[in-house]
Structure 1
Amino acid sequence: MAAKKKVNDHPSLDIVSSHGVELTGKKIVLCVAGSVAAYKAIELARLLMRHGADVTCVASGAVTKLIQPDYFKWATGNDVITKLTGKLEHIKLADYNQSDLVIVYPATANTLGKLANGIDDTPISTVLTVGFGSKIPILMCLAMHESMYDNSAVKKNIEFLKNKIQFLSPQMIEGKAKAPEPEDVLDFVLKKFGFSSTLQNKKVLMTAGPTIEYIDPVRVITNLSSGKTGVLLASELISAGAKVTLIYGPGNEEPPKGAKIINVTTNKEMLDATKKELKKKYDIVIMAAAASDYTPEKPTKSKIKSNKKALTIRLKKAPKIIDQVKKSQKNTILVGFKAETNLSKSALIKSAKTKLKESNADIIIANDIGTKYQKNPNNNQIIIVDEKNTITSGWKKKEKIVKIIRKEIEKKIR
């Protein structure tokens, strides 16, 4: 999940993760060499940021004659490197584990030749030399006239580097090897960092978080669900290319950027929101919320006086939201969750299989939230049950758990 924007952050960082969180936590160095295609580097930087990346630009002297460095500062929110100083910018950017990827966009024949021959007489060539030595992945997006691209020296440099760095093929248009479009570079980068074409553009409806049921205007019945697993799973699916709508109860976790968020409070509000959304077509529906099983039969409109020695509250069964899904959309992939406390593994599996049948679900994620879980709720152990298989995850951090769930959902799509 993307970090909250700090008060002193650059205003341009407002766009970070607005389209997805695939690149959250990834530091990308964008080296902009002296080509007229340099203006497209600004669009590329913004696309990478919209998917969560932290982008720092290194601009060549030729580029600064075409585009003022402040433009790159505006685009990324980070200082632009136009010269190397005693701050050792090349080391901070490209030494071991300092960045996740170096992109050269556009990449000229000159820049290519310097990297291939160990020449580092400019900020870009020095950053590339350091990154090449520290084995930071380098993606080079060539742009030049076709005759330059066909030059035997250029071809020799490409041949030398092709198994050491990555190239994104240029577009051969009007006698020029034009730089790939920014969207094509983004797609390449997303795939490099685990983008899932299986889930690309799949429409996912999720519920997550607890619900609260009012006894009176100030007193409620609820549960201890934080919403963390649901939020992490939503983020994981967004990162894989899915379009997620999240119906979210009052959980403690901040919902992920890139999802459509529908905030609800009570079981009835969650049920009504789910029914409304199911009027639209969804490929996958995931019921991860800890919705209340019971709700007060007659909540009072005014605060109950505290002078009573005893109080009886009558509860009624709340509707099971998961039972509504297949009635509305027969062909959607339905994933449900089943929480129990202090059961044996066989009893938990039996409970999950019962729910699988009752709800007509495709997958049930069962877990025991009893004594062991409550000691460290950041970890969990799940059992994934479908009609044919039972898979146990073992105890893992929830960040790992949601990746396992994602893989099982992907299997149902294939």
Structure 2
Amino acid sequence: MSGGQRLEGKTVVLAVTGSIAVVETVRLAHELRRRGAVVQAVMSAAACGIVHPDALTYATGREAITRCTGMVEHVLYCGEGGCADLLLVAPCTANTIGKIAHGIDDTPVTTFATTALGRGMPVVVVPAMHESMYRHPGVVENLAKLESWGIDVVPPRIEEEKAKIAGIEEIALHVERALLGRPLAGKRVVITSGACAEPVDDVRVLTTRSTGQMGRALALEAYRLGASVTVVHAGHVPCVENVHVETAGEMMEAVLAGVGKGADYYLSAAAVSDFAPARAAGKIPSGAPVEIALRPLPKVLDAVLRIFSGTVVAFKLGWDEEARAAAMLDAGVAMVVVNTPPAMGAAGGEFVLMRKDSRRTVTGTKEEVAEAIWSALL
């Protein structure tokens, strides 16, 4: 199980209710299957009025359940010893949220939910409704009740006065998080990612070709494994706290604040600027040679090591970097990941995972490398 197949061997019951967001469930079913899951759709009558059951039968490769019969489908999947590993209610209307919160069973979806909760299996609920409905005190109270029972509620996107269903990737990540055992539950992780940009003048910047793919992969893997994750970078990663910075100085400030709040892990995956130019006012005129003096910048990693007692993972980019990596291990870094410049901006490559007592080469996508790094740390 690696890369995109994190749900291999898992059966997910996709329970669908009568929100217009049900039109997204065909894509959702396909995404869960791409990640390795077996998907069984269950539909309320209201959902069937918006999307025909044949659409989800096609998307899942299994006949959609539209009523509970003498085959007691809810027990076969979600009862004691049932074959399902997780119940995903997506989309979940305000009506269904209220029914689940009060143990009301009058649709196939609510019957599956009561059975799953009684068994104690993982349940993920994905609300979708108008924003005013989402703010209703009863709905707020019912969602809080579901969370108090251990149900994972995936926050909606608030757009156009609607609490729209979360994105497909976010929902799939919540499913993976619920099914992968959460070995990092209760742990806080700070990750730096991507490139920094140092101003040359009011228009130009000095930067690198780093795309942030490695940092993103590390952050999503940590989230899947149950951690509370903060990413310090210029981009956006779903399901985690994003702290936006541009320069190395801003990154230094944000990282020290992050690790100072009780973090357990710091992973330095960003291509932090080694130099910064003296910024020119306005725009340097074009058409003539220009000399730009570069001043060296303090190392974020060195500053972290002075104040942080948690687990530190560093990245070294270049050829023949293993001797320098060994010195970093002596300085207190738990692991150094060594790779070469061709990996920058690429989907994958060859990486060497160095620890004081071991050395391992990993070749694959950055998602696979991130999985290997976290596996080695746990």
Which TM-score bucket, shorter chain as reference?
A: 0.5 to 0.7
Contact 1:337–1:366 (Cα < 8 Å) also in 2: yes
Once residues 271 and 369 of structure 2 are traced to their aligned partners in structure 1, the CA distance between those partners, rounded to angstroms, is 17
Q: 1:170-209 residue pairs with structure 2 within 5 A?
A: 170=119, 183-184=149-150, 194-209=179-194
Partner of 2:337: 365
Aligned CA RMSD, in angstroms, stands at: 4.1
Contact 1:58–1:82 (Cα < 8 Å) also in 2: no
Per-residue deviation, 1:82? 6.9
**Please, what TM-score do these two structures have when normalized by structure 2?**
0.62
Per-residue deviation, 1:351? 2.9
Partner of 2:299: 320
Instruction: Name the CA shift for 1:385/1:84 in 2 (closer, same or farther; >3 Å).
Output: closer
Amino acid at match of 1:339: L
Deviations 1:59-84 (A, max 9, x none): 2xxxx6xxxx3xxxxxxxxxx13799
Partner of 2:312: 334
Deviations 1:264-311 (A, max 9, x none): 111111111112223311011111110111111x21122222243x32
Instruction: Name the CA shift for 1:268/1:167 in 2 (closer, same or farther; >3 Å).
Output: closer
> What secondary structure does 2:316 align onto?
strand
Percent identity between matched residues is 21
> What secondary structure does 1:257 align onto?
coil
Instruction: Name the CA shift for 1:170/1:234 in 2 (closer, same or farther; >3 Å).
Output: closer
Question: How many residues are matched?
Answer: 277
Per-residue deviation, 1:30? 1.8
- Tell me if 1:244 matches 2:229: yes
Q: 1:243-282 residue pairs with structure 2 within 5 A?
A: 243-249=228-234, 255-282=236-263
- Tell me if 1:138 matches 2:84: yes
Partner of 2:328: 355
Once residues 354 and 199 of structure 2 are traced to their aligned partners in structure 1, the CA distance between those partners, rounded to angstroms, is 34
Once residues 193 and 56 of structure 2 are traced to their aligned partners in structure 1, the CA distance between those partners, rounded to angstroms, is 44
Contact 1:139–1:168 (Cα < 8 Å) also in 2: no
Partner of 1:151: none
> What secondary structure does 1:338 align onto?
strand
> What secondary structure does 2:57 align onto?
helix
Once residues 334 and 270 of structure 2 are traced to their aligned partners in structure 1, the CA distance between those partners, rounded to angstroms, is 17
> What secondary structure does 2:208 align onto?
coil
Residue in structure 1 matching 2:202, options 190, 214, 217? 217
> What secondary structure does 2:226 align onto?
coil
Amino acid at match of 2:48: I
> What secondary structure does 1:216 align onto?
coil
Moved more, 270-279 or 233-242: 270-279
Partner of 1:13: none
Contact 1:338–1:355 (Cα < 8 Å) also in 2: no
Partner of 2:361: 392
Per-residue deviation, 1:257? 1.6
**Please, what TM-score do these two structures have when normalized by structure 1?**
0.57
Partner of 2:71: 114
Q: 1:46-61 residue pairs with structure 2 within 5 A?
A: 57-59=42-44
Once residues 215 and 31 of structure 1 are traced to their aligned partners in structure 2, the CA distance between those partners, rounded to angstroms, is 53
Partner of 2:58: 92
Residue in structure 1 matching 2:48, options 81, 86, 89? 81
Contact 2:40–2:60 (Cα < 8 Å) also in 1: no
Instruction: Name the CA shift for 1:185/1:313 in 2 (closer, same or farther; >3 Å).
Output: closer
Contact 2:12–2:86 (Cα < 8 Å) also in 1: no
> What secondary structure does 2:48 align onto?
coil
Once residues 406 and 140 of structure 1 are traced to their aligned partners in structure 2, the CA distance between those partners, rounded to angstroms, is 24
Residue in structure 2 matching 1:305, options 276, 282, 285? 285
> What secondary structure does 2:263 align onto?
coil
Deviations 1:215-250 (A, max 9, x none): 21112211100011101111111111110111103x
Once residues 296 and 267 of structure 2 are traced to their aligned partners in structure 1, the CA distance between those partners, rounded to angstroms, is 22
Q: 1:129-168 residue pairs with structure 2 within 5 A?
A: 138=84
- Tell me if 1:293 matches 2:274: yes
> What secondary structure does 2:229 align onto?
strand
Q: Where does structure 2 lack aligned partners over 5 or more consecutive residues?
A: 1-5, 18-27, 33-38, 88-114, 121-145, 154-173
Once residues 403 and 333 of structure 1 are traced to their aligned partners in structure 2, the CA distance between those partners, rounded to angstroms, is 17
Deviations 1:324-378 (A, max 9, x none): 1122222x111111111xx3xxx342232123334x21111111124xx47x811
Per-residue deviation, 1:191? 7.4
Instruction: Name the CA shift for 1:55/1:306 in 2 (closer, same or farther; >3 Å).
Output: farther
Once residues 264 and 83 of structure 1 are traced to their aligned partners in structure 2, the CA distance between those partners, rounded to angstroms, is 43
Once residues 259 and 177 of structure 2 are traced to their aligned partners in structure 1, the CA distance between those partners, rounded to angstroms, is 34
- In our comparison, the structure showing a higher alpha carbon Rg is 1
Once residues 214 and 185 of structure 2 are traced to their aligned partners in structure 1, the CA distance between those partners, rounded to angstroms, is 21
Amino acid at match of 1:335: V
Once residues 137 and 27 of structure 1 are traced to their aligned partners in structure 2, the CA distance between those partners, rounded to angstroms, is 9
Once residues 288 and 318 of structure 1 are traced to their aligned partners in structure 2, the CA distance between those partners, rounded to angstroms, is 17
Residue in structure 2 matching 1:381, options 350, 364, 368? 350
Per-residue deviation, 1:90? 6.5
Contact 1:206–1:234 (Cα < 8 Å) also in 2: yes
Instruction: Name the CA shift for 1:386/1:93 in 2 (closer, same or farther; >3 Å).
Output: same
Instruction: Name the CA shift for 1:350/1:269 in 2 (closer, same or farther; >3 Å).
Output: same
Partner of 1:144: none
Instruction: Name the CA shift for 1:235/1:307 in 2 (closer, same or farther; >3 Å).
Output: same
Once residues 56 and 258 of structure 2 are traced to their aligned partners in structure 1, the CA distance between those partners, rounded to angstroms, is 50
Per-residue deviation, 1:56? 6.0
